Amino acid sequence: MIRPLKTTRRLWRGLKTRLWFTPSVIALGFLLLSIALIRLRYTDMLQELDKQLSFLALANQETARSIVTTLTGGLISLVVFSFSMVMVVLNQASSQFSPRLLPGLISKQEHQRILGFYLGAIIYNLMVLARIGPKDQLPIISVVLAILFGLLGLGLFIYFIHSISNSVRIDAILHDLYQRTKNSLADTQKRLSKTRQTDKEPPQGIENWQGLASPRSGYFLGLEADTLLKITEQEHISVAVVPHQGAFILQGKEVLKVSQEVSDEVSEDLLAALRIDVNESIEEDYLHGMHQLVEIAVKAMSPGINDPATALNVLDFLTALFEQYLKLYEPLCLVGSDNANAYVWLQPRPLDEVVFMLFAPLRAYVTQDVVVSRKLLRSLLHLSHLPELSDRDREVLEQELAKAKADALTRLSNEQDRLLIKKISEGH
């Protein structure tokens, strides 16, 4: 029962991220509306409505056909122009910022709904146009709706121009990434707070437990904690998760360790509780959002773009997010509610690896600019002085601060600039 539910949830999450899904659903709704009006054209309600709308003089076949034809041609033109604008915006975002931003831009629901409205209105008009004839009168309301859809399409087109223009502005992109990553961190904290946690260390000999291999390659985006704990309670077993969240897993590599031998069916249920996907997602892994911010900063400091202001903005957002990440408590072990011997040990994400992944590219590409270097050092200095840090975590950040200082001093030739860098790294 667990595998079908898991497959259904994975399929639904995949459908929601597809560009064609929302427009297709909306277009289907317009198609059903047109069919309903055609099938119900002789009902008393529509006949009475026709009498009320007779003053519009739309009962004439040629008039109705001319209006619907004109509206259809206009909507098709709007669709073509909208697609052209989308391609221009995507090309600009890819070349100036980062190609990895494209999924976030094309998945905006408001753009998909507008596209779905255009396609649905065109389908509706074609269905109405096909039924206009001397022997098959359509209700006047069908033509009135076509006119209303055309007017609404013009309004949506104006909104689309405004929205697509704003979506490619760097400040809007950075704020959207920041907000999505912040929400992902908050959701993770909320989800973890609902589980029973313990600091119990894994037992000795865990390397001898039964290993379960990943059925496919992809990024480990997390696990269904409730599902996994339920299985461990039912089977009276404990489980250790081998990879940390965000790690890329190759097919056939071990992802779980089980305290005792389990059947193939139980093994499949355990593996089904892991979220493994080839596509990374900010909503599934908050560090993916931080990594995209770093990519934007690196691209901004490339010789072809040379935009230090964007890099400074990125460091502001990255510092705020990383501070929230450092306050996030990642439990070492989850415990079942009914069976005290049912444990799920997690693999914490090493802080030194996270710091290296985020700040090493910045050290490599932004330390030739004294302004951005100062900002980077101040960010690391602020993070290393957070009171809630453990001694080990503080040491990791101080080591990264020392590396950034050394890189900046190596690349800066002006003695006054070097003096500024030394003062910041010393805590001034």
First and final C-alpha spacing in the chain? 61
Count the alpha carbons within 13 Å of 4 in the hemisphere toward its beta carbon. 1
Strands 254-258 and 210-213: antiparallel
Within 259-382, strands assigned E span 274-277, 333-335, 343-345
More confident residue, 185 or 343: 185
Q: Which of 270, 272, 292 is nearest to 281 (CA)?
A: 292
CA distance 140 to 143: 5
Percent of the chain with pLDDT over 70: 88
CA separation, residue 211 to residues 222, 397, 428 (Å): 18, 35, 52
Is the Cβ–Cβ distance between 128 and 58 less than 8 Å? no
Give the pLDDT band (50/70/90) at residue 17: low
The letter for the amino acid at 60 is N
The letter for the amino acid at 87 is M
Written as six digits, the tokens of 254 are: 């071990």
List of residues 6+ apart from 312 with CB closer than 8 A? 371, 372, 375
CA distance 19 to 114: 12
Q: What pLDDT does 53 receive? A: 67
Q: What is the pLDDT of residues 84-132, one digit of tens each?
A: 887 887 787 777 777 777 776 767 788 889 989 999 999 999 998 887 7
pLDDT above 70 (res 4):
no
3-state secondary structure of 212: strand
Q: Which residue's structure tokens are 């259904």?
A: 8
- Taken as a whole, the chain contains a residue count of 428
**What ranges do the domains of the chain cover?**
2-168
CA distance 34 to 89: 34
For the chain, helix (H) and strand (E) counts, in that order, are 16, 9
Is the Cβ–Cβ distance between 408 and 378 less than 8 Å? no
CA distance 108 to 92: 17
Q: What is the pLDDT of residues 26-56, one digit of tens each?
A: 999 999 999 888 887 767 777 777 667 665 6
CA 163 to chain centre: 19
- Torsions phi, psi of 369, nearest 5? -105, 120
Query: Strand pairing partners for 343?
Result: 335
Question: Which one-letter DSSP state was computed for residue 99?
Answer: G
pTM of this structure: 0.81
Q: Which of 404, 392, 394 is nearest to 358 (CA)?
A: 404
Lowest mean pLDDT among 3-7, 334-338, 371-375, 387-391: 3-7
Burial of 199 (0-12, 13-18, 19+ CB in 10 A): exposed
Written as six digits, the tokens of 241 are: 């998760």
- DSSP states of 337-394 as a string? SS-TT-EEE--PPPHHHHHHHHHHHHHHHHTTSHHHHHHHHHHHHHHHT-TT--HHHH
Is the Cβ–Cβ distance between 267 and 248 less than 8 Å? no
Q: Which residue's structure tokens are 């609902």?
A: 194
Q: What pLDDT does 156 receive? A: 92
Alpha-carbon torsion (260, 348, 177, 91), positive or negative? negative
Q: What is the CA radius of gyration of the chain?
A: 29
**Helix 21-39 and helix 140-167: axis angle, to 10°?**
170
Written as six digits, the tokens of 415 are: 């003695």
Q: What pLDDT does 59 receive? A: 58
Give the pLDDT band (50/70/90) at residue 420: confident
More confident residue, 260 or 317: 317
